[in-house]
Amino acid sequence: MTVSSERRPLGTDAARAPVKSPFESNVVINFEVQETIFDFVLSRVQGLGKGNEAGALEHEVVLTECVLNPQASRQAMAELMFETYGCPGLHLGPDATFAYAHNRLVDGGNVKSHGLVVGMGHSATNFVPIVDDVPDFDRALRMNLSGMGMTTQLQRCLEVKYGKSLNGKDHPLSGFNLVEKIKAQICLVALDYREELKKIGRSLGKGTEALGSFECPDATGVLPALDLNTAVERIQIPEIYFQPSIAGIDQMNITDTVEAVCSNGMRGGWSSELLESVLITGGGSKFKGMAPRLQRELKSRCKVGTTLNVLTGKDASLDAWRGAAAYSSGLLSKGGGYATFVDKKGYEEMGANRVFLY
C-alpha cells in the first residue's frame, strides 16, 4: 500500500505528490504514513475523529503483521492504535497463519491440526509450522524471495533483452505495474525445469507460439505494439523459488527451507506430521504448477511411505483476510495463538514494551 507523504486525502491530489510506503520490506517503519492511511480508512468506515474519547474506536481491532515482526514495530503500532485512536483492544497476528486457519475451517479434511503454512508474499516467503492448531513461531523461518523480487527480476530481463526502459517519464512505477500484469498472465512453474528448457531450445527454429494478448493501459507509450518473446522468462522467473542462484541470491531454496523447518525438533524429524498438510498461500502460490512441483521436490527427499500432501489455499489473495475475520468473529479460539492480544487497560498498566513480547 502506498500513500502520499503529505497529509492530504488519498485521491487525485495525493497521486500527484511524492509517493511513500509505510513499509520497509514487509515491516512497518514509517508510522506517519501509516497514520495517514488509518485516518482515511477510519473516516470512511466510521466517520471517526481522533485524540478524544468521543472519537475513539468502539471495537477491538485485528491487524496482520509479518512473521516475527520486530518488537519496536509492534510497540509503535500499539502506541498508535491506543494513544491516537483509543482502541479498546488490539490483536496482532501474521497473515500466513490466518490464511491457514481459514483453510482449516473450510477444508478440515485436508488441512490438518498439524501442518506447515508457506506464505509466498509480496515482500518475503515465510514458513510457519502449526502444531495442534497452534502456530510455532520459535521454529518459523523466512526466505528473502518474494513476489516483488520476481517482478523486479522479470523487468530487468525484459529491459536488457529489448534495450528499453519500461518506466514512463511521468510514472516511475508504470514499468513495474506492467511487468506485474505480464508475470501474472504468462508465468508458470515447470514440473521439470531442465526438460522444459530443452523443449524451448528445440522449438526456437520452428516459429513462435502466441501465448495470448491482453490490454494494459500502463503500457501506452512505453511498449507500443511490441511482441514480447518470453518463452524462457515465463518459466525462469518462478524457478527462482527452487533455484535462487538464477537471480544471484545465495540462500536456501523453498524445498531446503521446508526440510529445515520439518527437521528442527519436530516429532518424527524429516518425516514429520507437518508434511501431511503443507499449505501454500500468497501471490506466489498462484503460479500454475507450483503445488505439483513442490510436491515432487519434497517427495524426492522423503523416506518411502511418507505421507505428503501439498495444498493450495482456496483464495491466495483473500485467505488471510477471511482468517482474520473468522478470528474477530469468534470462529477461531482467541487462545489458539493465531494473534497476540492486549486490551487498553493492560496497555496503560504495563506499556507496549511489556504486553507485546512474543
Residue 59 and residue 201 in one domain:
no
Judge if 172 and 207 occupy the same domain.
Answer: yes
Q: Between 86 and 54, whose confidence is greater? A: 86
The answer to whether 90 and 123 have CB atoms below 8 angstroms apart is no
Distance between start and end Cα atoms, the chain: 26
**Overall average pLDDT of the 37-61 stretch:** 71
Same domain, 124 and 191: no
Say yes or no to pLDDT of 4 above 70: no
Q: Which helix (H) or strand (E) holds 62?
A: strand 61-65
Q: Which pLDDT value is given to residue 166?
A: 80
Three-state SS at 311: strand
**Structural domain of residue 215, as residue ranges?**
147-239
Together in a domain, 129 and 201:
no
Write down the pTM of the prediction: 0.87
| Strands 3-4 and 278-281, sheet pairing | unpaired
Query: Are residues 135 and 103 part of one domain?
Result: yes
- Between 111 and 304, the higher pLDDT residue: 111
Regarding whether 183 and 234 lie in a shared domain, the answer is yes
Confidence at residue 358, expressed as pLDDT on a 0 to 100 scale: 58
For residues 94 and 116, the answer to whether their CB atoms sit within 8 Å is: no
181 assigned to some structural domain: yes
Residues 154 and 268 in one domain: no
pLDDT digits 0-9 by tens, 125-153: 999 999 999 999 999 999 999 999 999 99
Of the candidates 239, 260, 282, which is a domain's last residue? 239
Task: Count how many domains the chain has.
Answer: 3
How do beta strands 115-120 and 125-131 pair?
A: antiparallel
Output the nine-digit C-alpha cell for 344.
Answer: 487498553
**Gyration radius (Cα) of the chain, Å:** 22
Shared domain check, 287 and 203: no
Name the H helices within the chain.
12-16, 31-45, 71-79, 95-106, 147-162, 174-186, 193-203, 233-239, 254-262, 290-299, 319-328, 344-350, 352-355
Residue 189: give its domain's CATH number.
3.90.640.10
Which has the closest alpha carbon to 342: 163, 79, 66? 79
The angle at the Cα of 168, spanning 165 to 172, to the nearest 5 degrees, equals 95
**Which of 179, 209, 239 represents a domain boundary (last residue)?**
239
- The whole-chain average pLDDT of the chain stands at 84
Residues 119 and 180 in one domain: no
**221 domain residue, yes or no:** yes
Q: Which of the four pLDDT bands, split at 50, 70 and 90, describes residue 230? A: confident
Tell me the pLDDT tens digit for each residue of 178-192.
Answer: 899 999 999 999 999
For the segment 245-263, what is each residue's pLDDT rounded down to a tens digit?
Answer: 999 999 999 999 999 999 8
- pLDDT value at position 272? 78
Max intra-chain CA distance, the chain = 73
d(CA 312, CA 290): 9
